[in-house]
Amino acid sequence: MALPPLREELVLHPGPALPDGQPSWTLHDPVRQLFFRLDWPTFEILKRWSQANVEAIAADVCANTTLDMQTQDVERVIEFLAGHQLTRPEPGRADEWAERWARQRSSLWKWLLHHYLFFRIPLWRPDAWLHRWLPAARLFGTSSFRWLTVAALLVGVGQAARQWDVFQASLVDAFSWQGLAAYGLALFVTKFLHELGHAFTAKHYGCRVPTMGVAFLVMWPVAYTDTNETWKLTDARRRLRVACAGIVTELHIAAWATLAWAFLPDGAWRSAAFVLATTSWLVTLAINASPFMRFDGYFILSDALDMPNLHERSFALARWHLRERLFDLREPVPEFLSSARTRAMIGFAWATWVYRCVLFLGIALLVYQFFLKVLGILLFAVEIGWFIMAPLRQEWVAWRARWPRIRASSRTRWTVALLFTAVLLTLLPWPTRSTATALLRPAEIWPVYAPGHARLEALPFWDGQPVALGAELMSLHSYELTQRRAALSARLQGLQWQAATAGFDAETRKQLLVSEDIVSATRAELANVEAELQTYRPTAPFAGHLRDVDPDLRPGQWVARRERIGLLVRDDGRWIVETWVDEDMVRTIAVGDAAVFIAPAAPLRGLALEVASIDRDTARSLPRPEVAAQSGGHLLTREKGNQLVPEHGAYHVVLTLQDPLPEMLSGQSWRGQLSISGRWEPPAARYARQILAVLVRELGF
């Protein structure tokens, strides 16, 4: 095989030692600003490229080095160089290059798709400017400045601790127009200094910085600095310093912003300093430090491990590992690493895939919820196709290419059997068992509430005492109602006196009919007040025992409106269990289903129950806070107007006991876990219903 000529502008730099100890070299393509890490065998082949013969190069390497070189190794290097366009086009092969260019050129749709997901806008060529200002920038990298920053941080933190209440309240000023403008300007300056941190550090180590600008990742703007030339550095620690420079710069800004907050007067700039000292660098650290995207965290991890192209290499290992586990193809590993590092890279690849899938789908959902619905659906479809379907299609193509070996492998039959079993298990009906927090209580109870703010005058019964039918449970005094009753009584007496003396005066006789109407209205209003006062002296609607009475409650104390004084429990031995369940759970249960109730705090091992009733309509409010999530229950609720409102539809379910309760429970209420055996249903049915419900709701069917 004849060797194609290499491009003349390529530059070869010494590289760091590889993990296995062999030397490496970095091949620089200055036209495309790309760098390629070469190992020792590849370097020896390139060193003999002028021999222009595959067999001669392989033989010369074997004769003059300790390497065992085969012609296939030289051919793979040729394929690598040609595939990455590092060779010159040979005369007479223009058609081949035109065809390759046509394959690389994408359609308008693919171009738009790729540039929607990620594109860069270079705004500045800073290399000459960086060179002029590098001596001044080096002052910020000295140990003296670092110690000065530490001192500024300590002073700022000390001042913030002394004014902690003011420090917590500083964010309020940021919600004004002046505060938002100051914060926006401060954030812009911070991001600019972040990128200058990368640029000056790279320039300090002799690397060229060709461009700085803005990159858009799924339409989200992020600043970028082209520091690709750091791959020329042989010391991995220097590359690591360049990658960390942006985050370190923002940490320095946060330290000085804390000091500035301590001395600035109240206003917009102090609020901006507060944001820079707290939330700004935390958000930046959370985003930039993530190694799952190609931000600072990825390059920091790549340089710390000295593993260029960490994503691509870990993805290749994960795909190889998946094929081996599924089909046992016994293909060679993409690269030989220690077992611990191989497992770590495979786990890193799967974590990156999951992270990106969740991130981009979340962005699409945000666009759908807060912007155009059509745009959100389009983004959702694009990201499903690009990040899920496209990789699956590529892997399917790889499986098809290996189909003869896959079909011949015994592992394949086990994989297919397990996959078929898993699918079958999701489609076959299974007995459902629904669990929820429930409340065990007597079947008939009557809460005793204070109808309004009042003073307790008498409390005849204490906790646990028997109460007869019609007995007065408590006596409350309402000053407002008492005064209203006295005023209405006096007014009624005056009106009655005027009506009785109307016959002695001609003028009053004319107003007699009007006076009678006023008397009737006053008498009715007085009757209403009397009836309302009667609610302050409630009587027992049935015989039972009074429970849950506050032992510290004494006559003469004031009680609040709707404050519960006690609970009247009928002593007839009937108990029920009640709960509220969501729509998914109510669909799987029916009247007559068996259930079990377990209350850990009660002396019960398990109560056999039967579903007695299920409400057809959802509850507008939750009368039992014991089953709400805020109290440790299962039902998500929110507070609205002093009531607990379920976040989703909640149906009231009542269950009856099949066996009598022990005497030791004595009318108390117990919270526990309820388990209901519902009808048989395929596990996939719930997800299918949810997907269908979302489609029907969002498409407007």
| Structure-model confidence comparison of residues 664 and 307, the more confident one | 307
CA 313 to CA 518: how far, in whole Å? 93
Per-residue CA distances from 360 to 219, 525, 656, 694 (Å)? 11, 66, 49, 19
* pLDDT value of residue 169: 64
Residue 598 tokens read as: 């377990």
**Is residue 160 scored above 90 in pLDDT?**
no
**Is residue 623 scored above 80 in pLDDT?**
yes
Average pLDDT over residues 291-305: 86
Give the residue from 261, 671, 135, 112 showing the smallest Cα distance to 436. Answer: 671
* pLDDT value of residue 273: 80
* pLDDT value of residue 698: 65
pLDDT tens by residue, 345-404: 999 999 999 988 888 777 767 767 766 666 667 777 777 777 778 888 889 999 999 999
Give the residue from 628, 597, 632, 599 showing the smallest Cα distance to 611. Answer: 597
Q: What is the DSSP string of 272-326?
A: HHHHIIIIIHHHHHHHHT-TTTTSHHHHHHHHHHT-SSHHHHHHHHHHHHHHHHH
Cβ burial, residue 328 (10 Å; 0-12/13-18/19+): middle
CA 665 to CA 140: how far, in whole Å? 74
**Region of poorest pLDDT, from 26-30, 240-244, 292-296, 500-504:** 500-504
Provide the 3-class DSSP secondary structure of residue 696. Answer: helix
pLDDT tens by residue, 561-586: 888 888 888 877 788 899 999 887 88
**Is residue 666 scored above 80 in pLDDT?**
no
Cβ burial, residue 270 (10 Å; 0-12/13-18/19+): buried
CA 87 remoteness from chain centre: 48
Q: Report whether 261 contacts 277 (CB < 8 A).
A: yes
Average pLDDT over residues 511-515: 58
* pLDDT value of residue 283: 67
**Is residue 321 scored above 90 in pLDDT?**
yes
Confidence category of residue 4, pLDDT binned at 50, 70, 90: confident
Spell out the residues 6+ positions from residue 46 whose beta carbon is closer than 8 angstroms to its own: 6, 12, 38, 77
Confidence category of residue 601, pLDDT binned at 50, 70, 90: low
Give the residue from 53, 60, 54, 49 showing the smallest Cα distance to 74. Answer: 54
Confidence category of residue 686, pLDDT binned at 50, 70, 90: confident
Sign of CA dihedral 595, 599, 600, 604: negative
Per-residue CA distances from 229 to 51, 68, 195, 201 (Å)? 31, 33, 15, 12
Compute φ and ψ for 621, nearest 5 degrees.
-145, 160
How many Cα neighbours within 13 Å face the side chain of 486? 6
**Region of poorest pLDDT, from 58-62, 140-144, 171-175, 593-597:** 171-175
How many Cα neighbours within 13 Å face the side chain of 524? 6
**Is residue 242 scored above 70 in pLDDT?**
yes
Provide the 3-class DSSP secondary structure of residue 699. Answer: helix
CA 235 to CA 241: how far, in whole Å? 10
Give the chain's mean pLDDT. 82
Torsion (CA) 430, 435, 441, 446 in degrees, nearest 10: -100
Cβ burial, residue 640 (10 Å; 0-12/13-18/19+): exposed
CA 118 to CA 387: how far, in whole Å? 13
What burial letters (b/e) apply to 32-62, b meaning 16+ CB within 10 Å? eeebbbbebbbbbbbbbbeeeebeebbebbe
Q: 435 - beta bridge partners?
A: 675
Q: Report whether 647 contacts 637 (CB < 8 A).
A: yes
**Mean pLDDT: which of 212-216, 658-662, 671-675 is highest?**
671-675
Q: 447 - beta bridge partners?
A: 567
Confidence category of residue 236, pLDDT binned at 50, 70, 90: confident
**Is residue 173 scored above 60 in pLDDT?**
no
pLDDT tens by residue, 604-618: 667 889 999 999 888
Average pLDDT over residues 170-191: 69
* pLDDT value of residue 201: 95
**Is residue 508 scored above 70 in pLDDT?**
no
Identity of residue 513: L
Q: Report whether 271 contacts 265 (CB < 8 A).
A: no
Average pLDDT over residues 637-658: 86
CB atoms within 10 A of CB 273: 26
pLDDT tens by residue, 430-480: 888 888 999 888 888 888 888 888 898 888 888 878 888 888 888 988 888
pTM of this prediction?
A: 0.65
Provide the 3-class DSSP secondary structure of residue 630. Answer: helix
Q: 455 - beta bridge partners?
A: 477, 558
Average pLDDT over residues 515-526: 79
Alpha helices in 439-511 (DSSP H): 479-500, 506-510
Average pLDDT over residues 54-62: 90
Phi-psi bin for 388: left (phi > 0), alpha (psi -120 to 50), beta?
A: alpha
Confidence category of residue 264, pLDDT binned at 50, 70, 90: confident
CA 320 remoteness from chain centre: 31
Strands 594-598 and 575-581: what pairing? unpaired
